[in-house]
Amino acid sequence: MSSYDYDLFVIGGGSGGVRAARVAASLGKKVAIAEEYRFGGTCVIRGCVPKKLFVYASQFHEHFEDAAGFGWEVGESRFDWKKLVAAKDQEITRLEGLYRKGLTNAGAEQIDSRAELVDAHTVLIKATGKTVTAERIIVAVGGAPTTHVALPGHEHCISSNEAFHLEELPEAILIEGGGYIAVEFANIFHGLGVKTTLIYRGREILSRFDQDMRRGLHAAMQAKGIDILCEDVILSVEKKAEGELIAKTKQGKTLEVGQVMLAIGRSPNTRGLGLEQAGVAVNERGAIIVDPYSRTNVPSIFALGDVTDRVQLTPVAIHEAMCFIETEYKNNPTSPDHDLIATAVFSQPEIGTVGMSEEQAAKAFEELEVYRAEFRPMKATLSGRAERMIMKLIVNAADRKVVGAHILGHDAGEMAQLLGITLKAGCTKDDFDRTMAVHPTAAEELVTMYSPSYRVKNGERV
Ligand code: NDP
């Protein structure tokens, strides 16, 4: 019998924390999990899930337009933001209930309170002021939108957190950032009828993606009517008496908008968590430093998910939680595999990607074969929509392994999931060539690009 109150105490009820708590409890461990806001974490409550619901909502006006080409006459349409927010909230509440139910069924105690570390085995429950002890503690408190205190008028700006609960849709919005969140929300707001401007400090949006994806998406977004200002940043935001915001940019532009949204990254949520007291080391960004088994420098304290700032993605946090369970409770040391993570940007069109960009691969390998197809998707032939789909396979010429796969277009995220398996399995281009096409699909292009579009030798396109 352990001398602690719990075998495992988890701080943070997001994707990673809930998974670790639920599975540990189902293995018979005495587990408690504390959450200060809502169970489900960023992904379920104010991230991936509500975002995807908003993406669907924002696509309907294009569906209505496209319908005409297929013989449909669609009557007058009207969008009700409040109805969407209410429907989304209802779904999120349902999902939160499922998270709670899973924990209850497994026998994990849920504590609706902030919890902070006191020492290597002790946690303070803020709501009651009580302390409890645990043999092992997991910190899985996630991240929060990076604030921009140096920006005059930053207090007038919103982050993705508030974007999910705006009282009303603004007529115009300015979004700062060129990453996942900025790009996805620019498309959402535009699709819902908001005049949208994206401002990004670099030369091209989505800095860590393949150039073709970046350029292709930029062009598609601009063609829809989204204004993209590159190599520019917001210098100040001022609020007028009537509530409108005036944003001034470095390049000398002045924009009058209803909302300014900052999407300049997410930072680990570690402030005031008692890490220092417990002796847990953090890096310069405040992220908890962990070893390959998610263990901090304090042997009884573990950290997983966004708070460790390894890869800020829900499936990664869940995977890290499962590795913790294998290592600590199943006597099977397993470290998370962060290689070849397939991911999607739910922009419109979507990006689905796995593996290296052409630029990364050109640095890693002596010679590449690049297979690239750009075409008009079938649906666009009758809808008349001017849209292009881009597919790209990056192949290491030496062993024919596909080291990167990138798609811009409808359902790219769905395709990236399956491509992830092939790259993880180490498939070569010959494996792709031997695979029969599914016809008629867009994805068939992935197995019918027979000869390289070009080669890259020693970093140079030939
Ligand atoms: P990202 O890291 O993707 O992008 C941050 C953006 O902000 C970059 O374009 C960056 O520019 C820019 N930036 C950073 N600091 C400043 C600054 N001081 N001034 C102006 N611009 C700045 O972060 P997000 O906030 O978009 O998303 C956070 C994380 O959440 C992502 O990394 C992702 O892992 C996850 N996420 C995943 C989604 C998905 O899977 N579909 C959806 C949403 C989020 P630069 O490129 O020059 O550094």
Does residue 188 contact residue 182 with C-beta atoms inside 8 Å? Answer: no
Instruction: Clarify whether 165 is annotated catalytic.
Output: no
> What is the third-level CATH fold of 6-143+267-329?
FAD/NAD(P)-binding domain (3.50.50)
pLDDT (0 to 100) of residue 143: 97
**Closest of 438, 454, 457 to residue 446, by C-alpha:** 438
Q: Is 305 in the pocket of ligand 1 (CB under 6 A)?
A: no
Pocket test for ligand 1, best of 199, 205, 218, 264 (most atoms within 8 A of CB): 264
pLDDT band of 271, cuts 50, 70, 90: very high
Among residues 2, 67, 59, which one has the least CA distance to residue 31?
A: 2
pLDDT > 60? residue 256: yes
Candidates 340, 306, 174; CA nearest to 244 is 174
Instruction: Tell me which residue has its CA closest to atom 16 in ligand 1.
Output: 264
Overall average pLDDT of the 311-340 stretch: 97
Mean pLDDT of 40-47: 97
Asked whether the whole model's pTM tops 0.95, one would answer yes
CB-hemisphere CA count at 13 Å for 134?
30
| pLDDT at res. 339 | 96
178 lines ligand 1 (CB under 6 A): yes
Å from CA of 268 to ligand 1 middle:
13
Three-class secondary structure assignment of 203-260: CCCCCCCCHHHHHHHHHHHHHHCCEEEECCCEEEEEECCCCCEEEEECCCCEEEECEE
Q: Which fold has domain 154-264?
A: FAD/NAD(P)-binding domain (3.50.50)
Instruction: Verify whether ligand 1 is closer than 6 Å to residue 203 (CB atom).
Output: no
Q: State what percent of residues in the chain have pLDDT above 90.
A: 99
Q: What is the pLDDT of residue 177?
A: 98
Rounded mean pLDDT, 208-213: 97
Per-residue pLDDT band for 290 (boundaries 50, 70, 90) equals: very high
Q: Where in the chain are all domains bearing CATH 3.50.50.60?
A: 6-143+267-329, 154-264
Cβ–ligand 1 contact at 35 (below 6 Å): no
- Average pLDDT score over residue span 391-415: 98
* CB 144 less than 6 A from any atom of ligand 1: no
- According to DSSP, the β-strands at 172-176 and 195-200 are parallel
Structure confidence at residue 152 (pLDDT): 98
Average pLDDT on 246-270 reads: 98
Task: Return the residue matching tokens 């297929």.
Answer: 70
Say yes or no to pLDDT of 246 above 90. yes
CATH of segment(s) 343-461: 3.30.390.30
**Percentage of the chain modeled with pLDDT above 70:** 100
Mean pLDDT of 272-293: 97
Atom of ligand 1 at shortest range from CA of 344: 41
pLDDT value of residue 2: 77
Per-residue pLDDT averaged across 29-50, rounded? 97
Q: Residue 173: what pLDDT?
A: 98
Mean pLDDT of 360-384: 97
Residue that is written with structure tokens 């601009």 in the block: 222
Q: What is the mean pLDDT of residues 262-289?
A: 97
265 alpha carbon – ligand 1 mean position (Å): 4
Instruction: Find the mean pLDDT for residues 148-162.
Output: 98
pLDDT, tens only, 182-198:
999 999 999 999 999 99
pLDDT in tens, 61-76: 999 999 999 999 999 9
pLDDT of residue 1: 52
Domain limits, CATH 3.30.390.30, in the chain:
343-461
